[in-house]
Amino acid sequence: MSEPLLRVEQLYTRLGKLRVVDGVSFAVQRQQTFALLGESGCGKSMTALSIMRLLPEVASIQSGQVEFNGRDLLMLPESAMRDVRGGDIGMIFQEPMTSLNPVLTIGEQIGETLRRHRRMHKRGAREEAASLLQAVGLPDAARRLGDYPFQLSGGMKQRVMIAMTLAGNPSLLIADEPTTALDVTIQAQVLSLLRRIQQQRGMGMLLITHDLGVVAEMADHVGVMYAGELVEIAPRAAFFDRPQHPYSQKLFAALPNGVQRDARLMSIAGNVPALDSEFIGCRFADRCESAFGRCRDEVPAWTQLADGHAARCHLLGMANEPKVVIVPPLVPTKPDSGKVLLSVANLKVHFPLGSGLLANKRNVVKAVDGVNLEIYRGETLALVGESGCGKTTVGKAIVQLQPVTAGHIVLNGVDLGALNKRQLHEQRAHVQMIFQDPFSSLNPHLRVIDLLEEGMVALGVERDSARRSHILTKLIDQVGLPANALQRYPHEFSGGQRQRIAIARALAVRPKLIVCDEPTSALDVSVQAQIINLLKDLQAEFNLSLLFITHNLPVADYLSQRIAVMYLGRIVEMGTSLEIMTQPRHPYTQALLAAVPSMVRPVAVGVDADVNINADIPSSINPPSGCPFHPRCVLVMPVCSEQYPEKLQMSKTHMVRCHAVK
């Protein structure tokens, strides 16, 4: 095999006392993709920043080699590294908005790279910038050069970041979670774009991700990282055929798929150990059911399993096999299909353009434009769709956090829109909301017990303080946190633990319905599994109804009995989870399913795996006429741009709105 493009040997990086990169070695071949996989806090991004020598001031590289094209980057002076960064090696960051300068136009930012690394003059740089934007699929590229970052959608901003990276003609591309913040359809576009550009330019790629589906679609080789070190390296096919390290196996088991609806997802107990710990044995031992005495006393060496496949585990090569972990079954929920808890009829939420005296009541944004749905007692209804389609607005309207323009929201037989302020206050305990980011929704100045007690006191759920304390002690145990958590503050918890606190806060007032707004989208797959299992357990115990808002179709399929697909303020398809996932009829639903990374994509009848939505979701300020999906639809007909399709009942439980469906 030829010399690799990038070779990292025994790289050690410290962040103060933290050993964030602890003896990492791997290689990236030319024209191939090496994926670094693992949970947050494992050291993946710090490895990339070490390679680029972009570490914060408090961090330092202790030892090791980073050999790129025959040169050790750690030995280069800073002046030479400036030519490497953005030139020979390009980097795409996770959040494009924080990487783009908000006060410079797109053209100025791409032009800066072209002038720095390719010595282009102003006119030539502008022409090349337009060409790069066109190459990454940005529509009307020449005009976009004058736009500022805030004028672009998330997918567009990520394409601009890719264009800026390509401006330096890199031979190695480092992509740090390039699709984490994007919808599944935009993710599919960006991954397809990266594959195409890599093939055209012959680049090597270091891909950093926690998403196994992205790894399945993109990687040639995989490195699994845990607590600052690599624990498994393998070719993609061997890794997905038979992962060897217990940590790798648990990552696979934590993913929801269509065949395990009644089984509990495998969650990984505990957290990634603190990186300032004095590690003696295997770093995963405290979270591994197969661990034995040697695991805690001796650091495991690499075991070579096959060509290119190796792992660090004492169990490998031994006669005894790892223990089979018995996952207890879920207590099945039993929705009462005869009792409607929530009925939403012709719900509309419109926002006038402008505010105050400048508000224009004739020109409005129709965020929600005629939504009808029902949720039964004990049922989970998933509301899915891309960002900007109105899902969260529906949820906020149901919990009365958003004024309603028209329509009716009837909860437990009570029309919430007909209530006065006092009556509405009395009903608030019946419906609660869990938000996407628990940290921003929890008051950082209050202890957990005060956060939970606040709602109980305000809504008069339990007036006796001793009784409240008893209830909250039991509740904090039910959501899987220790009793001493009640006396701590939100910043003392991990992201998954904070989400458990948010769930406990919602449950404290004994609601009948909980609106869950993307509660797992910011979490690692193992923590996501814990939260999903918890929601299912609590639903069975308290007979809760859930409106689960998400853009993750496998999670929606696992958690819900029915799925409603929303597009630009309207529901375009609704049915049982089985109907939506295996027999989708609307082209938009089919495109959402086709965009799911192949490792977790469900088998759906009539869905082409290569179907892709090439354009971004239109603005709701000026939506397309007729069916708003028609500019992006592969089945578009003349009638689609003229009138909105009528509701078509495919079965007793399956509804679709599409002119092409017969």
pLDDT tens readout for residues 221-243: 999 999 999 999 999 999 999 99
Average pLDDT across the chain, whole number = 88
Q: Could you tell me which residue, 321 or 540, shows the higher pLDDT?
A: 540
312-329 in b/e form (b: 16+ CB < 10 A) is bbbbbeeeeebeeeeeee
pLDDT of 384 reads 96
pLDDT of residue 137: 79
Determine the Cα–Cα distance for residues 309 and 576; give it in Å rounded to an integer.
42
Predicted pLDDT at 178 = 86
- If you average pLDDT over residues 547-557, what whole number do you get? 92
Instruction: Give tens-digit pLDDT for 466-501.
Output: 999 999 999 999 898 888 999 999 988 878 888 999
Q: At residue 551, what are phi and psi to the nearest 5 degrees?
A: -115, 5
pLDDT at 511 > cutoff 50:
yes
328 pLDDT above the threshold of 70: no
Instruction: Using alpha carbons, list the distances in angstroms from residue 121 to 90, 124, 600.
Output: 21, 6, 47
User: In this predicted structure, what is the pLDDT of residue 337?
Assistant: 60
Q: Say if residue 428's pLDDT is above 60.
A: yes
Q: What is the pTM of this model?
A: 0.86
Share above pLDDT 70 across residues of the chain, in percent, rounded to a whole number? 92
Reduce the DSSP state of residue 632 to 3 states and report it. helix
- Ranking 32-41, 68-77, 610-619 by mean pLDDT, the lowest is 610-619
Q: 215 pLDDT exceeds 60? A: yes
pLDDT at residue 514 above 60? Answer: yes
Question: Is the model's pLDDT at 185 over the cut of 90?
Answer: no
Q: Does pLDDT of 154 surpass 80?
A: no
> For position 228, what pLDDT does the model report?
94
Residue 443 pLDDT > 70:
yes
User: E strands along 177-308, which residues?
Assistant: 204-209, 221-226, 229-235, 302-306
Torsion of CA 99, 101, 106, 112, to 10 degrees: -90
> Distance of alpha carbon 192 from its chain centroid, rounded?
18
More confident residue, 331 or 341: 341
- Model confidence at 438, in pLDDT bands (50, 70, 90)? confident
Amino acid identity for residue 86 in this structure: G
Instruction: Please give the torsion angle defined by the CA atoms of residues 9, 15, 18 and 21, in that order, rounded to the nearest 10 degrees.
Output: -20
pLDDT at 244: 94
DSSP-derived letter for residue 1 is -
Residue 172 has pLDDT above 60, yes or no: yes
Give yes or no for residue 324 having a pLDDT over 60. Answer: no
